[in-house]
Amino acid sequence: MKKEKLRIAVQKSGRLYEDSLNILKDAGISIDNGKEQLKASSRNFPLEVLYLRNGDIPQYLRDGVVDVAIIGENVLIEKGQDIIKGEKLGFSKCRVSMAVPKSFEYTGIKDLDGLKIATSYPNTVNEFLKNKGITAELHIINGSVEIAPNIGLADAICDIVSSGSTLFKNGLKEVEVMLKSEAVLAISPMITNERQSILEKLQFRIKSVLQARSSKYILMNVPNDKLEDVIKLLPGMRSPTVLPLAEEGWSSVHTVINEERFWEVLDELRKYGAEGILVAPIEKMVI
């Protein structure tokens, strides 16, 4: 009997490609990936990777051609709102925004009324404008949307924005953020029970990787008379590990903290006399 494999779609080129393969690698999945290959298998996990055009992935998920995909949330909102959205993956963060020429004296959303807007996201733009009570003429462009105002095709654009440098180079300014996006794990509504079981194992691994990426292992020496204050401060997984030091009156404290809170917590620890503070990355974290 042929062994079931989970079929996952990954963008074959572009900003999601490398990070998608990296998260699978960090999840312990080895992929035999040849140059220009459109399909590859894992040698140590029941997974088959299909390299597809980003815009085609929602339809492949809908039809059950692939079981799961790593895709930008913005693409799902535009083309696949009926598709199940799983974990947010923490990379390829961007926003879908309205932009106008720098010379445009923009005062608010009403300034978009009656304008020509160029975009690759017509469904997203129409929904946004409808909710705001704005009527505009859309020009659907697949490709470099930013050039549209410069050639007289449109008065404004809607496109994905990361750093904003592309807008700046084309003489545009961001005026409305419609939504924020990042890579997500998208799941086909057609997935079978057998492949759902494999997916759950994959999700467990990915969650462990994501938890580790957002956490730091920290250990420090703390005077015993400040231990209670330090323990109250630390937001560890359950409670910190406390070990006595050879030097009387001191203990070693070990815990895990969220990276976003790291510097805030570090300043407080120093106030309580913590010394020899060491911080280490975490490779995997199972909770």
pLDDT on residue 257 = 87
What pLDDT does 2 receive?
A: 66
Quickly name the fold that domain 6-92+183-212 has.
D-Maltodextrin-Binding Protein; domain 2 (3.40.190)
| Tokens (6 digits) for 187 | 């799941």
Topology of domain 94-181, CATH? D-Maltodextrin-Binding Protein; domain 2 (3.40.190)
Whole-number Å distance between alpha carbons of 149 and 101 = 7
Parallel, antiparallel, or unpaired for β 6-11 and 68-72? parallel
Phi/psi of residue 88, nearest 5 degrees: -80, 135
The yes or no reply on domain 215-281 and CATH 3.30.70.120 is yes
pLDDT tens for 226-268 read 999 988 888 656 678 899 999 999 999 999 888 888 888 888 8
Instruction: Give the Cα separation of 138 and 141 in Å (integer).
Output: 9
pTM, two decimal places = 0.84
Q: Could you tell me the residue ranges of all domains in the chain?
A: 6-92+183-212, 94-181, 215-281
Q: pLDDT (tens digit, 9 = 90+) per residue, 109-123?
A: 999 999 999 999 999
